[in-house]
C-alpha cells in the first residue's frame, strides 16, 4: 500500500432548545440536519456494513448534538416538523401536476421525506444516539468527541480552567453515552494554541487534528509536513489536514459541490413561491420571515443566469465520476508523496458532517461511493482504479496503533477558519463577547475554589452546576461565528447575553447566600429545565477549579527533535 487515507467527519450543532415557545425557527437547524444529513449517513453506513465492505472512518459527535438527539421534547418536535414537510411536499405534487419536470421532482422530494420518516420511526426507533452507539460497536466507524459546547479554546487565554472544563466535559459526556473513553478529540474549528495539548493529555486524549499550516509552521518544522503526525511535548499526536483533498470538497470554486449538475442549496421554494401559499407550511407560525422548506427544484447550473431544473440522473452520474476522481487522486497523491518522503504518507481529509446532505445534497451518496472504491476489494472483485492499489483507509487511532516514528514538535497556533488563525472569532462583529466570557470564567473559578465540596443534592450544588452550564453554553464558538457571518446575529447575541446574565445572577445569589429564597430557587429550576444537558452526577462544577497540575503519565520526554516511537496497540511514548 502506498499510503493511508484518514476520512474524518465532524458532526456538531449548537444547543438550541426553547420549550418556552410552541415553535422556534432555530430548532429547525437540528431537524434539517437529521433529515438531510444524519439519517442518510447512518443509512449509508448500515448499507456498507450489510454489504460486508471493510472500511475505517472517524466520526466525532459533539456533546451538544448528542444532548439534542437524546431529548424527548426535540424528538417530538422533529416528528411534527417532518410531518409538516411531508404535507407540504404532497401539496407541491398537486400544485405542479401540469408541469411534468417539476412534478417528478416534487414526487421525489415527497418520497425522500417519507423514507426519512420510515428510517426515523422503524429502523432507528427515534433513537439516533443508540444508532450511533451500535455503529461504533460494529468497528468500521470510530467515534470520538469534541469540546463540551464547541468553545473556541485559543480565545480563552488566561483561563486554563475553561480549557479543562470544555475538554473534560466533552470526554465525560462521550463516556456517558458510549461507555468508553475517546481516543481522539476534535478541536473546535481545528483551532490550536500551544498548551491545549497538555489539557488533552490530562484527559487521556491520544490525538487531534489541526489545519495544514499548524504542522507546516510547527517548532521545529516537521520533515514530512502535514503528511505524518507529530507528537507534542505533552505526548499527544497531532495530525494535519491535507490541503488537496480539502480543496476538492470544500472549495467554492474548484470543489465538487459547485458542479453545475448538483442540486442548488439556495434555490428553495420557500423563498420563491407566494407568501400566502408557502407561509402556512413554514415551521414557525405567525412569522413573516421567509424560511427554507427543503424542497429545491433547480441545479447549480453555473453563472448568474436562470437556474435549470435539477436532473437526478445527471447528478448521479456526476457523483460517481467525482467519487472515482477523489479516490484516484488520493492514490496518485499517496504514490507521489511516498516516493519523495520515503515513507507512507498519512492523508487526513476532515469535513463537517453537515456538508453531506444538507449543504451538498449528493454528499452522502458521494461519500458511500468513495468508501466502496477505497475499501479493500473482495475476492474475485476485479475493480481497480489503476495499476496500483488504492490507499488504505485508516483512522488516526489505527495509524498510532500500528506503530510509527513520530517527530516531536509543537504545532503552531492555527485554525481552519478564514485567514487560518483566530481573527474570524474576534473581529469587530463579535469581539465584545470575550471580555465578558473571561470575567465569567474568572468568577466561576472563584466559586469552584470557595466551594470545593458542595453536597450532591443541595441547592448549593444545583446552583454551582447550573452556573457552570450557563458559562459553557455562552462559550460556544457558534455564537461568534454567527455574529461574523450575520445569518441570525440577533439570536446569537441574545444567546450569549442570556447565558451570561443567568450565570451572573446565579453567582450573585450564591455569593450573597440567597439560595433559600423561593424566587432564586425557581430561577435555578427554570434554567435547569431549559438546558437539560450535562446531567449530574456525571457533570461536576469542579471542572472549573483552577488546578495547574498537568499529568502526562504516558510521556518519557526526550529532548530535541529526534523521532519518538509510538508503541503498537498502546500509543505510549517510549
- pLDDT at residue 465, as a whole number: 98
Query: Is the model's pLDDT at 368 over the cut of 80?
Result: yes
- pLDDT at residue 382, as a whole number: 43
Query: Is the model's pLDDT at 554 over the cut of 60?
Result: no
- pLDDT at residue 516, as a whole number: 96
Give yes or no: residues 384 and 509 share one domain: no
- Catalytic entry in 32, 43, 92, 189: 189
The pTM of this model reads 0.93
Query: What confidence tier does 2 reach under pLDDT thresholds 50, 70, 90?
Result: confident
- pLDDT at residue 556, as a whole number: 29
Q: State how far the Cα of 546 lies from the Cα of 445, in Å rounded to an integer.
A: 6
Contact 269, 92 (CB under 8 A): yes
- pLDDT at residue 284, as a whole number: 58
- For residues 379-401, average pLDDT: 67
Give yes or no: residues 231 and 282 share one domain: yes
Give yes or no: residues 89 and 126 share one domain: yes
Give yes or no: residues 11 and 90 share one domain: yes
**Does some domain include residue 375?**
yes
Percentage with pLDDT > 90 across the chain: 84
**Does some domain include residue 351?**
yes
Query: Is the model's pLDDT at 560 over the cut of 90?
Result: no
User: Whose CA is closest to 1, among 345, 399, 407, 395?
Assistant: 345
Q: Is 478 a residue of the active site? A: no
Question: Which residue is associated with the grid cell 519523495?
Answer: 340
Where a domain ends, among 350, 376, 408?
A: 408
CATH number at residue 33: 3.20.110.10
CATH number at residue 473: 1.20.1430.10
Q: How many helices (H) and strands (E) does the chain have?
A: 20, 11
Query: Is the model's pLDDT at 296 over the cut of 60?
Result: yes
Give me the phi and psi of 406, to 5 degrees please: -110, 130
Give yes or no: residues 403 and 472 share one domain: no
Residues 6+ apart with CB under 8 A from 380: none
- For residues 133-154, average pLDDT: 97
* Mean pLDDT score across all residues of the chain: 91
Query: What confidence tier does 283 reach under pLDDT thresholds 50, 70, 90?
Result: low
Count the helix, strand and coil residues of the chain and give each as a percent rounded to the nearest 5: 50, 10, 35
Query: What confidence tier does 380 reach under pLDDT thresholds 50, 70, 90?
Result: very low
Task: Please work out, in degrees rounded to the nearest 5, the angle formed at the alpha carbon of residue 127 by the alpha carbons of 121 and 129.
Answer: 150
Query: What confidence tier does 384 reach under pLDDT thresholds 50, 70, 90?
Result: very low
Give the residue with greater pLDDT, 554 vs 545: 545
**Does some domain include residue 418?**
no
Q: State how far the Cα of 23 lies from the Cα of 20, in Å rounded to an integer.
A: 9
- pLDDT at residue 409, as a whole number: 98
Query: What confidence tier does 394 reach under pLDDT thresholds 50, 70, 90?
Result: very high
- For residues 510-537, average pLDDT: 96
- pLDDT at residue 280, as a whole number: 84
Contact 347, 330 (CB under 8 A): yes
Give yes or no: residues 120 and 257 share one domain: yes
Give the tens place of pLDDT for each residue, 309-364.
Answer: 999 999 999 999 999 999 999 999 999 999 999 999 999 999 999 999 999 999 99
- pLDDT at residue 299, as a whole number: 97
Where a domain ends, among 408, 435, 459?
A: 408
Give yes or no: residues 459 and 400 share one domain: no
Category of 235 on φ-ψ map: left (φ > 0), alpha (ψ -120 to 50) or beta: left
Question: Which residue is associated with the grid cell 483552577?
Answer: 546
- Catalytic entry in 134, 316, 352, 398: 352
Query: Is the model's pLDDT at 70 over the cut of 70?
Result: yes
- pLDDT at residue 377, as a whole number: 75
List C-alpha distances in Å: 307 to 107, 259, 268, 273, 311: 20, 13, 12, 15, 12
Measured from the Cβ of residue 470, the count of other Cβ atoms closer than 10 Å reads 24
Longest Cα–Cα distance of the chain, Å, equals 76
Query: What confidence tier does 565 reach under pLDDT thresholds 50, 70, 90?
Result: very low
Where a domain ends, among 408, 439, 468?
A: 408
**Does some domain include residue 67?**
yes
CA 428 to chain centre: 26
Bridging pattern class, strands 392-393 and 4-11:
parallel
Range with the lowest mean pLDDT among 329-338, 367-376, 385-394, 465-474? 385-394
- pLDDT at residue 390, as a whole number: 47
Q: How many domains does the chain have?
A: 2
Give yes or no: residues 146 and 197 share one domain: yes
Give the tens place of pLDDT for each residue, 91-104.
Answer: 999 999 999 999 99
**Does some domain include residue 116?**
yes
- Which cell is 259 given? 458542479
Give yes or no: residues 397 and 448 share one domain: no
Domain span at residue 21 reads: 4-408
**Does some domain include residue 367?**
yes
Query: Is the model's pLDDT at 479 over the cut of 50?
Result: yes
Query: Is the model's pLDDT at 567 over the cut of 70?
Result: no
- pLDDT at residue 125, as a whole number: 97
Give yes or no: residues 124 and 237 share one domain: yes
**Does some domain include residue 567?**
no
- For residues 73-83, average pLDDT: 97
Range with the lowest mean pLDDT among 53-57, 153-157, 251-255? 251-255
Give yes or no: residues 277 and 347 share one domain: yes
Query: Is the model's pLDDT at 562 over the cut of 60?
Result: no
Q: Is 470 a residue of the active site? A: no
- pLDDT at residue 546, as a whole number: 84
Query: Is the model's pLDDT at 41 over the cut of 80?
Result: yes
Give yes or no: residues 89 and 9 share one domain: yes
Percentage with pLDDT > 70 across the chain: 91
**Does some domain include residue 556?**
no
Give the residue with greater pLDDT, 255 vs 556: 255
Amino acid at each position: 500500500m502506498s499510503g493511508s487515507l484518514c476520512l474524518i467527519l465532524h458532526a456538531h450543532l449548537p444547543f438550541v432548545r426553547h420549550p418556552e415557545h410552541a415553535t422556534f425557527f432555530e430548532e429547525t437547524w437540528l431537524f434539517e440536519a437529521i433529515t438531510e444529513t444524519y439519517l442518510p449517513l447512518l443509512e449509508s453506513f448500515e448499507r456498507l456494513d450489510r454489504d460486508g465492505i471493510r472500511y475505517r472512518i472517524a466520526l466525532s459527535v459533539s456533546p451538544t448534538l448528542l444532548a439534542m438527539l437524546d431529548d424527548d421534547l426535540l424528538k417530538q418536535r422533529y416528528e411534527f416538523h417532518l410531518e409538516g414537510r411531508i404535507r407540504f411536499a404532497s401539496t407541491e405534487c398537486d400544485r405542479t401536476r401540469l408541469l411534468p419536470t417539476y412534478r417528478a421532482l416534487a414526487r421525489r422530494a415527497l418520497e425522500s421525506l417519507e423514507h426519512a420518516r420510515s428510517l426515523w420511526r422503524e429502523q432507528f426507533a427515534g433513537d439516533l444516539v443508540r444508532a450511533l452507539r451500535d455503529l461504533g460497536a460494529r468497528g468500521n466507524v470510530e467515534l470520538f468527541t469534541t469540546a463540551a459546547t464547541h468553545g473556541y479554546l485559543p480565545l480563552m487565554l488566561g483561563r486554563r480552567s475553561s480549557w479543562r472544563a470544555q475538554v473534560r466535559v466533552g470526554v465525560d459526556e462521550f463516556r456517558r453515552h458510549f461507555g468508553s473513553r475517546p481516543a481522539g478529540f476534535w478541536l473546535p474549528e481545528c483551532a490550536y494554541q500551544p498548551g491545549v495539548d497538555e489539557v488533552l493529555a490530562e484527559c487521556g486524549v491520544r490525538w487531534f487534528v489541526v489545519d495544514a499550516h499548524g504542522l507546516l509552521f510547527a517548532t521545529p518544522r516537521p520533515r514530512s509536513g502535514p503528511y505524518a503526525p507529530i507528537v507534542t511535548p505533552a505526548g499527544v499526536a497531532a495530525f494535519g489536514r491535507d490541503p488537496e483533498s480539502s480543496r476538492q470538497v470544500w472549495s467554492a470554486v474548484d470543489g465538487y459541490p459547485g458542479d453545475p449538475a448538483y442540486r442548488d442549496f439556495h434555490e428553495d421554494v420557500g423563498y420563491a413561491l407566494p407568501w400566502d401559499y408557502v407561509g402556512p407550511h413554514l415551521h414557525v407560525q405567525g412569522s413573516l420571515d421567509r424560511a427554507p422548506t427543503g424542497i429545491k427544484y433547480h441545479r447549480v447550473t453555473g453563472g448568474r443566469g436562470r437556474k435549470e431544473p435539477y436532473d437526478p440522473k445527471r447528478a448521479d452520474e456526476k457523483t460517481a465520476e467525482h467519487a472515482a476522481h477523489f479516490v484516484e487522486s488520493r492514490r496518485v497523491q499517496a504514490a507521489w508523496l511516498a516516493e519523495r518522503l520515503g515513507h507512507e504518507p498519512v492523508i487526513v481529509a476532515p469535513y463537517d458532517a453537515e456538508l453531506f446532505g444538507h449543504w451538498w445534497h449528493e454528499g452522502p451518496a458521494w461519500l458511500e461511493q468513495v468508501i466502496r472504491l477505497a475499501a479493500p476489494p473482495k475476492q474475485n472483485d476485479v475493480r481497480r482504479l489503476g495499476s496500483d492499489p488504492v490507499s488504505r483507509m485508516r483512522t488516526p487511532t489505527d495509524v498510532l496503533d500500528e506503530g510509527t516514528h513520530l517527530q516531536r514538535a509543537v504545532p503552531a497556533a492555527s485554525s481552519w477558519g478564514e485567514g487560518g488563525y483566530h481573527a474570524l472569532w474576534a473581529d469587530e462583529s463579535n469581539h465584545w463577547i470575550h471580555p465578558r466570557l473571561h470575567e465569567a470564567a474568572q468568577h466561576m473559578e472563584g466559586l469552584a475554589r470557595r466551594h470545593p465540596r458542595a453536597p450532591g443534592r443541595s441547592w448549593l450544588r444545583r446552583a454551582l452546576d447550573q452556573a457552570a452550564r450557563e458559562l459553557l453554553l455562552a462559550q460556544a464558538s457558534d455564537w461568534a461565528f454567527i455574529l461574523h457571518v450575520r445569518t441570525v446575529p440577533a439570536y446569537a447575541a441574545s444567546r450569549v447575553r442570556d447565558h451570561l446574565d443567568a450565570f451572573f445572577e446565579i453567582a450573585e445569589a450564591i455569593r450573597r447566600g440567597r439560595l433559600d429564597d423561593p424566587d432564586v430557587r425557581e430561577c435555578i429550576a427554570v434554567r435547569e429545565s431549559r438546558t437539560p444537558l450535562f446531567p449530574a452526577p456525571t457533570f461536576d462544577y469542579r471542572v472549573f477549579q483552577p488546578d495547574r497540575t498537568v499529568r502526562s503519565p504516558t510521556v518519557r520526554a526526550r529532548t530535541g527533535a529526534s523521532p519518538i516511537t509510538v508503541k503498537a496497540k498502546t500509543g505510549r511514548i517510549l
